[in-house]
């Protein structure tokens, strides 16, 4: 293999090609979505005119008003809760040493690679009939929120711990010497500096939660009222793709839109989050 150093022009050409590759699938459903139901779509399906009727149809028939509401509530709750909890755990693991910390932390790390497949079965049955309390939490937001907080805390702990560990110990020592309590140190000294890290963690957790499918399929597919947007898309596609692919394409675009919008404005945080492990000092 001879790697020839491509000059700057070549580099841009390569980067542009691959960027187009990355974009194309999204573009392709966007093109599809801009067609009318009665258009015969084939090949590249580049629209000759912009027609938003498929988006309208998708929104109303796919009941995405409900789907979006559910997705926002779940993703919002999970993000907020896991941020708060992870700041706590990250702070502890990152700046303190306590009995058992070396054992507990790796156990928490395990949660990052945990597949929901490993826990979805008991989650289903335990939510159907909560032990001791005998509640039925299926088809409620709790069924989606609680497990995802659990899993997000794993990632959040890893993330915030890394951040807190990177703060200069002298900062903490100084505050301590001034008589600040552990909470005071966190609240007044560390947290203001931690906002970028918290924001990064939040956008990632929000994205993963928004996109989660298996949990929704198992735990909230019983009623339409609590379905998340991706789940709604899956059912909608199953029921309508054969007859109206443009409508389904429009629905797909709608489901991807919120994350894309947030990404557009906060992309630096997404990227930083994903590259963290390697780019950390």
Q: How far is the CB of 79 from other proteins (least distance, A)?
A: 8
Site membership for other proteins, residue 132 (CB under 8 A): no
**Distance in angstroms (rounded) separating the CA atoms of residues 228 and 71:** 5
Site membership for other proteins, residue 238 (CB under 8 A): yes
Site membership for other proteins, residue 134 (CB under 8 A): no
Query: Which of residues 55 and 82 has its CB atom nearest to other proteins in the complex?
Result: 82
Task: Identify the residue among 101, 184, 191, 193 touching other proteins (CB under 8 A).
Answer: 101
Query: Which of residues 194 and 218 has its CB atom nearest to other proteins in the complex?
Result: 218
DSSP string across 152-166 = HHHHHHHHHHHHHHH
What's 178's DSSP letter?
A: T
Residues 6+ apart with CB under 8 A from 212: 116, 144, 148, 228, 230
Q: How far is the CB of 228 from other proteins (least distance, A)?
A: 10
What are the backbone angles phi and psi of residue 139, rounded to the nearest 5°? 60, 30
The answer to whether 235 and 227 are in contact (CB under 8 A) is yes
Site membership for other proteins, residue 248 (CB under 8 A): yes
Q: How far is the CB of 114 from other proteins (least distance, A)?
A: 6
Q: How far is the CB of 61 from other proteins (least distance, A)?
A: 9
Interaction with other proteins in 8-37: which residues (CB under 8 A)? 8, 10-12, 14-15, 18-19, 21-23, 25-26, 28-29, 32
Site membership for other proteins, residue 4 (CB under 8 A): yes
134-165 CB burial, b ≥16 within 10 A, e <16 = eeebbbbbbbbbbbbbbbbbbbbbbbbbbbbe
Q: Show the tokens assigned to 55.
A: 């988006």
What are the backbone angles phi and psi of residue 241, rounded to the nearest 5°? -65, -35
**Distance in angstroms (rounded) separating the CA atoms of residues 244 and 35:** 10
The answer to whether 159 and 276 are in contact (CB under 8 A) is yes
Interaction with other proteins in 155-194: which residues (CB under 8 A)? 156-158, 165, 169, 172-173, 176-177, 182
Task: Identify the residue among 34, 45, 58, 189 touching other proteins (CB under 8 A).
Answer: 45
Q: How far is the CB of 281 from other proteins (least distance, A)?
A: 10
Query: Which of residues 52 and 222 has its CB atom nearest to other proteins in the complex?
Result: 222
Task: Identify the residue among 151, 190, 194, 201 touching other proteins (CB under 8 A).
Answer: 151
The answer to whether 250 and 33 are in contact (CB under 8 A) is yes
Interaction with other proteins in 252-281: which residues (CB under 8 A)? 252-253, 255-256, 258-271, 274-275, 277-279
Task: Identify the residue among 57, 58, 138, 205 touching other proteins (CB under 8 A).
Answer: 138
Q: How far is the CB of 23 from other proteins (least distance, A)?
A: 6
Q: What distances in angstroms separate CA 251 from CA 50, 56, 231, one per listed residue?
A: 16, 9, 11
Alpha-carbon torsion (63, 121, 144, 155), positive or negative: negative
Q: How far is the CB of 215 from other proteins (least distance, A)?
A: 11
**Total interface residues for other proteins by CB under 8 A:** 147
| HSE, side-chain direction, 13 A CA sphere, residue 215 | 28
Q: How far is the CB of 128 from other proteins (least distance, A)?
A: 6
């Amino acid at each position: 293999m001879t790697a020839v150093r491509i000059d700057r022009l070549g580099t841009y050409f390569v980067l542009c090609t691959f960027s187009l590759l990355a974009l194309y699938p999204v573009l392709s459903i966007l093109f599809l979505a801009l067609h009318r139901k009665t258009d015969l779509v084939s090949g590249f399906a580049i629209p000759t005119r912009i027609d938003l009727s498929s988006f309208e149809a998708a929104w109303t028939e796919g009941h995405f008003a409900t789907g979006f509401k559910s997705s926002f509530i779940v993703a919002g709750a999970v993000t907020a809760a896991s941020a708060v909890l992870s700041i706590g755990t990250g702070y502890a693991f990152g700046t303190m040493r306590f009995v058992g910390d070396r054992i507990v932390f790796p156990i928490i790390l395990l949660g990052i690679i945990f597949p929901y497949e490993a826990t979805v079965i008991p989650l289903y049955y335990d939510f159907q009939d909560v032990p001791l309390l005998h509640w039925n939490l299926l088809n409620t937001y709790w069924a989606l929120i609680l497990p995802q907080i659990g899993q997000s805390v794993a990632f959040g702990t890893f993330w915030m711990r890394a951040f807190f560990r990177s703060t200069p110990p002298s900062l903490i020592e100084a505050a301590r010497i001034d008589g600040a309590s552990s909470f005071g140190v966190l609240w007044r000294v560390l947290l203001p500096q931690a906002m970028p890290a918290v924001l990064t963690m939040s956008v990632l957790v929000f994205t993963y939660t928004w996109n989660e499918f298996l949990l929704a399929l198992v735990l909230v597919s019983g009623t339409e009222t609590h379905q998340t947007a991706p789940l709604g898309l899956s059912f909608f596609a199953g029921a309508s793709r054969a007859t109206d692919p443009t409508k389904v394409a429009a629905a797909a675009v709608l489901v991807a839109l919120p994350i894309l919008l947030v990404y557009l404005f906060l992309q630096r945080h997404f990227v930083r989050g994903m590259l963290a492990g390697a780019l950390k000092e």
